[in-house]
């Protein structure tokens, strides 16, 4: 990536690739796109990462359209290769749901399928050469009169903590909803206050409520945090390695990037599987009346 005929420094190259295309409100009150990293920081928490939102939405629509088209054309006698592929994915999801979810809720399998496929697609963006889409974004920006160097475009949505936290918080809210719906508000409250320490003595049981609530509340809040950071951390590290490889001489780039890309396919699938598995486990915990 260059500005004019001069290559930007390695540090600037890395920062540029890790910076989102941010839209938000500037300190003086006007709204617009950030042209520098400092401008993006000045927008604060409420800025929108247009690249993350755009790519996530596009991949989600692609997933829904593809599954919808195949679903409309399903044939029992002579299924197509695409139909067999989708059916194998659905069987895989159903098997995991049956193995980890003991309640009865028709939402869990579709939820697990959606989360798994969507995250696989977002993670797979990591396998696209790191300069291709940012360079295309720069050319589009230059066409509209922008300085190419000040056009940011972060390709992999799951390397943005806003995306992973959004997914994890959505799952967490569903977990809270079903915990209260299945166990009742009183049952959910008792789960937070009467465990892990308990006593048959009523007075001691009351004294233990603050300690129980502290431990259970920390455990509860840790779920969406660990859920999101696990996915973000692994994908961010993988993307960073691709960026560092891109700084090497051309002949060395292909020597290292191809083996890493092949290995990274495993990470792409594994991280989506882990996220999906935790979704199923958390939903099972929400439906469990054992306590």
Catalytic annotation, pick one of 179, 234, 257, 288: 234
E strand residue ranges, the chain: 2-3, 6-7, 22-25, 31-33, 48-49
Based on the residue annotation, tell me whether 234 is a catalytic residue of this protein: yes
Mean pLDDT of 206-221: 94
pLDDT at 185 over 80: yes
Residue 178 above 90 pLDDT?
yes
- Rounded distance between C-alpha atoms, residue 16 and residue 252, angstroms: 22
The Cα 234–Cα 237 span in angstroms is 5
Does the annotation count 230 as an active-site position?
yes
User: Which residue among the candidates 42, 100, 230, 288 is catalytic per the annotation?
Assistant: 230
Does pLDDT of 3 surpass 60?
no
pLDDT in tens, 8-44: 578 888 988 999 999 999 999 999 999 998 999 999 9
CB neighbour list of residue 111: distance below 8 Å, 6 or more residues apart: 174, 279, 283
């Amino acid at each position: 990536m260059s500005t004019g005929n001069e290559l930007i420094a390695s540090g600037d190259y890395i920062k540029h690739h890790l910076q989102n295309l941010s839209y938000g409100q500037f300190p003086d009150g006007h709204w617009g796109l950030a042209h520098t990293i400092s401008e993006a920081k000045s927008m604060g928490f409420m800025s929108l990462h247009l690249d993350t939102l755009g790519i996530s939405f596009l991949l989600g629509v692609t997933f829904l359209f593809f599954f919808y088209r195949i679903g409309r054309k399903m044939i029992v006698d002579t299924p197509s290769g695409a139909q067999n592929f989708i059916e194998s994915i659905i069987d895989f999801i159903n098997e995991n749901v049956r193995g980890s979810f003991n309640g009865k809720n028709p939402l869990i399998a579709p939820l697990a399928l959606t989360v798994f496929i969507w995250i696989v697609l977002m993670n797979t963006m990591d396998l696209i050469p790191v300069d291709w889409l940012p360079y295309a974004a720069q050319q589009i920006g230059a066409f509209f009169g922008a300085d190419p160097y000040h056009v940011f475009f972060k390709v992999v949505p799951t390397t943005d903590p806003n995306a992973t936290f959004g997914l994890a918080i959505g799952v967490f809210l569903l977990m809270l909803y079903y915990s209260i719906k299945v166990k009742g508000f009183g049952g959910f409250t008792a789960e937070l206050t009467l465990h892990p320490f308990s006593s048959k003595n009523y007075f001691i049981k009351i004294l233990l409520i603050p300690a129980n609530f502290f431990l259970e509340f920390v455990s509860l809040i840790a779920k969406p945090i660990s859920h999101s950071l696990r996915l973000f951390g692994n994908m961010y590290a993988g993307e960073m390695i691709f960026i560092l490889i891109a700084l090497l001489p051309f002949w060395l780039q292909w020597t290292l990037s191809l083996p890493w890309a092949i290995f990274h396919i495993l990470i792409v699938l594994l991280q989506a599987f882990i996220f999906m598995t935790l979704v199923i486990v958390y939903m099972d915990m929400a439906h469990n009346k054992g306590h």
